């Protein structure tokens, strides 16, 4: 398990944009997390077995578990995540709702990653794209 102060910028990381759409003017981290399992694309997961840990500077930490083409979320920190993504809640919401590109957030230092950073590139295909309104 990583402590927020122990994680540093890796040489490469990305986070997909537009991987969830929430029709609400009151978007919160909790609401985004709640919607993730319903946006999960099981067929895209294949044999993936991974834990995506999200450390949010100003909100509750959580992780996404993907195993046997199933997705679940849980609050807190996982003991052995495959990848850890660090950011504040505004960056998290902006990236997952498509208001900001994940690579742009990374290049601006708003998003950091530790562990198997290549897993971050798979998040976009694992969750439905932004729906049209």
- Report the 3 state secondary structure along 45-79: HCCCCEEEEEEECCCCCEEEEEECCEEEEEECCCC
Average pLDDT over residues 21-26: 44
SS3 109: coil
Best mean pLDDT range from 5-14, 29-38, 92-101 = 29-38
* 27: pLDDT strictly greater than 90: no
For 4-125, the fitting CATH number among 3.30.1050.10, 3.30.565.10, 3.90.220.20, 3.10.20.340 is: 3.30.1050.10
- DSSP bridge partners of 14: none
* 84: pLDDT strictly greater than 50: yes
Q: What angle do CA 20, 91, 41 make, to 5 degrees?
A: 25
pLDDT the model gives residue 127: 84
pLDDT the model gives residue 14: 39
pLDDT the model gives residue 26: 61
Distances (CA, A) of 43 to 59, 60, 66, 126: 31, 29, 12, 8
**Runs of H (alpha helix) within the chain:** 29-39, 42-45, 89-96, 102-107, 123-126
Considering only residues 23 and 123, tell me which one the structure prediction assigns the higher pLDDT.
Answer: 123
pLDDT the model gives residue 37: 93
Q: Taking Cα atoms as reference points, which of 85, 63, 64 lies closest to residue 15?
A: 85
Considering only residues 129 and 20, tell me which one the structure prediction assigns the higher pLDDT.
Answer: 129
Q: Where are the domains of the chain?
A: 4-125
C-beta separation of 73 from 36 below 8 A: yes
pTM (two decimals): 0.76
C-beta separation of 77 from 61 below 8 A: yes
pLDDT the model gives residue 90: 93
Considering only residues 7 and 105, tell me which one the structure prediction assigns the higher pLDDT.
Answer: 105
Counting every residue written for the chain, the total comes to 133
């Amino acid at each position: 398990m990583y402590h927020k102060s122990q994680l540093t910028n890796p040489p490469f990381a990305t986070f997909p944009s537009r991987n969830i759409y929430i029709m609400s003017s009151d978007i919160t981290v909790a609401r985004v997390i709640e919607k993730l399992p319903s946006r999960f694309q099981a067929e895209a997961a294949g044999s993936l077995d991974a834990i995506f840990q999200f450390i949010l500077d100003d909100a509750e930490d959580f992780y996404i578990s993907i195993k046997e083409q199933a997705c679940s979320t849980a609050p807190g920190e996982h003991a052995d995540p495959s990848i850890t993504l660090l950011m504040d809640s505004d960056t998290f919401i902006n990236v997952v709702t498509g208001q900001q590109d994940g690579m742009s957030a990374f290049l601006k230092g708003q998003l950091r990653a530790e562990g198997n950073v290549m897993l971050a590139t798979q998040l976009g295909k694992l969750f439905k794209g932004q729906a049209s309104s």
